[in-house]
Amino acid sequence: MKDEQASATALLIAAGLVLMDKNPAYAGAVSTASADLSARILQSYSPASRRLLKLVRCSWFRRTAAVFERATIPGILRHYAMRKKCIARLARDAIRDGIAQVVILGAGFDTLAMELQREFADVRFWEIDHPATQRYKESVLNSAVTHEIHFIATDLSLAGLDKESLKSASFDPGQKTLWIAEGVLMYFSERAVLRLLEEIREISVPGSRVVFTFMERDVKGRVRFRNQTRLADWWLGRRDEPFRWGFETENLAEFISPWRVVRVYGNHDLQKLDRANGKKALAAGELICLAEF
């Protein structure tokens, strides 16, 4: 990712959220708040993103997008939507269990912190993300939102966790914290993943939790979605943000120790969250881990 450019993946997911919000086939899968923020970002980011926004709002483009999805990674949009829904549920469970600090790593254009802040006024939130992506996000948020949520600009893959910036932004290492890394770690090297898990452990007290997604390597050792086609392999190979890290679920507990795996959520769990379309296929290969310290 270039320093002055927002994450290509974040922009792509933003377009997908807008597309799903207006598509009856995904009824209830995406929060309106997420789709609205995504639309504002696409509108302001660049001429190309504005053209994309116009396209995803057209009914004919939805049909075209559905064909393209089937030709690349079938079920990927629904996977993204259910992934977000599952993580939001885990975050609410953590807060109801007494956790009063939430730090979102690589937040992208997600609105989870904003939505939770409206529900839980006594909880404090931080977002840590690449400077360019965060800058565009802050530019479309109103001042009331940016006042309630602490934004820290850091390239986590290179610099790791900026603990001093966190502390100077009122983070309390003595309080139980929920750490969230959604759709982030697969872009890091294994060494960077281990470093980040160790860094957040160093400023976490017992009872803190971490929720992160990870790619499970396939039988050939590749880091990819299971039903990914050759067209998707080609397209992803041309991007500037390739998947770099994947892991085997059976070795996860040892890898993240001393964090303790509480549960791993897979496709079956995500399908249960899609009440209207629970039998439709989801892209497989990315899992969600809930762990505790």
Shared domain for 67 and 80, answered yes or no, is no
Give pLDDT, residue 33.
Answer: 81
Q: How do residues 142-177 score in pLDDT, each as one tens digit?
A: 665 667 899 998 888 888 898 899 999 999 999 999
CATH code, domain with 222: 3.40.50.150
pLDDT for the residue numbered 3: 55
Q: How many residues does the chain have?
A: 293
Produce one character per residue of 246-278: b if its CB has 16 or more CB atoms within 10 Å, e if not. bbeeeebeeebeebebeebbebeebbebbeebe
pLDDT higher than 90, residue 2: no
Among 83, 35, 73, 75, residue whose Cα is nearest residue 57 = 35
Which among 106-120, 137-151, 222-236 has the top mean pLDDT? 106-120
Partners of 179 in beta bridges: 103, 210
- 115 & 183 share domain: yes
How far apart CA 48 and CA 6 sit, in angstroms, is: 13
Tens-place pLDDT, residues 278-287: 567 789 999 9
For residues 82 and 112, state if they share a domain.
yes
Domain that holds residue 185: 76-292
Q: Which of 26, 44, 72 is the last residue of a domain?
A: 72
* pLDDT, tens digit (0-9, with 9 covering 90-100), for 18-65: 888 878 777 777 888 888 888 888 888 889 889 989 988 888 888 888
At 19, give phi and psi (nearest 5°): -60, -45
Q: pLDDT tens for residues 114-148?
A: 889 989 999 999 999 988 888 888 877 766 566 78
- Domain count of the fold of the chain: 2
* Mean pLDDT score, 101-111: 91
Do 187 and 243 lie in one domain? The reply is: yes
Q: Are residues 14 and 84 in the same domain?
A: no
pLDDT at 273: 87
Tens of pLDDT, residues 59-101: 888 888 889 888 989 999 889 889 999 999 999 999 999 999 9
Q: What pLDDT, on the 0 to 100 scale, is given for residue 40?
A: 86
How much is the average pLDDT of 215-221? 89
Positive or negative, the CA dihedral 282, 255, 101, 14 is negative
Residue 129 lies in a domain: yes
Residue 212's DSSP bridge partners are 181, 289
For residue 266, what pLDDT band results from cuts at 50, 70 and 90?
A: very high
More confident residue, 2 or 120: 120
Confidence check: pLDDT of 229 > 60: yes
Residue 276 confidence class, pLDDT cut points 50, 70, 90: low
| 277 and 134 fall within a common domain | yes
**Domain shared by 202 and 82, yes or no:** yes
pLDDT for 128: 93
What contacts 206, CB < 8 A, 6 or more positions away? 176, 293
What is the distance between the alpha carbons of residues 184 and 107, in angstroms, rounded to a whole number?
Answer: 9
Q: What does pLDDT average to over the chain?
A: 88
Which residues of 75-176 form beta strands (DSSP E)? 101-105, 124-129, 149-153
Last residue of a domain, one of 37, 52, 72: 72
Q: Is residue 2 part of a domain?
A: no
134 and 206 in a common domain = yes
- Domain assignment present for residue 141? The answer is yes
